[in-house]
């Protein structure tokens, strides 16, 4: 058997006896495209059926009326209670704008505040009061106070 040049580009793939070269089909372009078309057709058919023939699930929801007995999970009760006690714009503004900005700014001011004489005491007091307020609001929400 003659030695082949290792840099040669003539690659011979092993074939099953009885198959001709023109009957062989590569997996990547042919099978991947075929399965992609099948998946697209199935998803299109399901989407068509879901939008044109929806299943009845009961009476339609009224977005202006919250059913009785609906309350958030215990870890959201403090925020839920804040929204009950203060105007909505103030509660949403503090909960979703002011508090996250304060939380993300703590690492940048940590060294400056802790070098100050009463810095660590002030930080501990603010965190402690926040934890007490959150616990109180959570308990009020859990016990059902309006």
Q: Is residue 42 part of a domain?
A: no
Q: Is residue 13 part of a domain?
A: no
Q: Is residue 101 part of a domain?
A: yes
Q: Is residue 35 part of a domain?
A: no
Q: Does residue 117 carry a pLDDT above 70?
A: yes
Report how many domains make up the chain.
Answer: 1
At residue 18, the pLDDT reads: 66
Q: Does residue 129 carry a pLDDT above 90?
A: yes
What confidence tier does 87 reach under pLDDT thresholds 50, 70, 90? confident
- Three-class HEC string of the chain: CCCCCCCCCCCCCCCCCCCCHHHCCCHHHHHHHHHHHHHHHHHHHHHHHHHHCCCCCCCCCCCCCCCCCCCCCHHHHHHHHHHHHCCHHHHHHHHHHHHHHHHHHHHHHHHHHHHCCCHHHHHHHHHHHHHHHHHHHHHHHHHCCC
Q: Is residue 102 part of a domain?
A: yes
Q: Is residue 45 part of a domain?
A: no
Q: Is residue 68 part of a domain?
A: no
Q: Is residue 25 part of a domain?
A: no
At residue 146, the pLDDT reads: 64
Which range of residues forms the domain containing residue 85? 74-143
């Amino acid at each position: 058997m003659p030695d082949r040049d290792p840099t040669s580009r003539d690659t011979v793939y092993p074939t099953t006896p009885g198959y001709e070269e023109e009957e062989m089909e590569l997996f990547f372009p042919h099978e991947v495209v075929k399965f992609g078309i099948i998946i697209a057709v199935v998803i299109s058919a399901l989407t068509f059926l879901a939008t044109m023939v929806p299943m009845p699930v009961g009476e339609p929801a009224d977005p202006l009326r919250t059913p009785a007995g609906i309350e958030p999970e215990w870890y959201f009760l403090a925020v839920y209670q804040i929204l009950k006690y203060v105007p909505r714009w103030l509660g949403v503004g503090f909960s979703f704008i002011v508090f996250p900005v304060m939380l993300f700014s703590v690492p940048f001011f940590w060294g400056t505040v802790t070098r100050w004489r009463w810095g660590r005491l002030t930080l501990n007091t603010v965190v402690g009061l926040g934890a007490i307020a959150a616990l109180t609001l959570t308990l009020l929400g859990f016990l059902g106070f309006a």
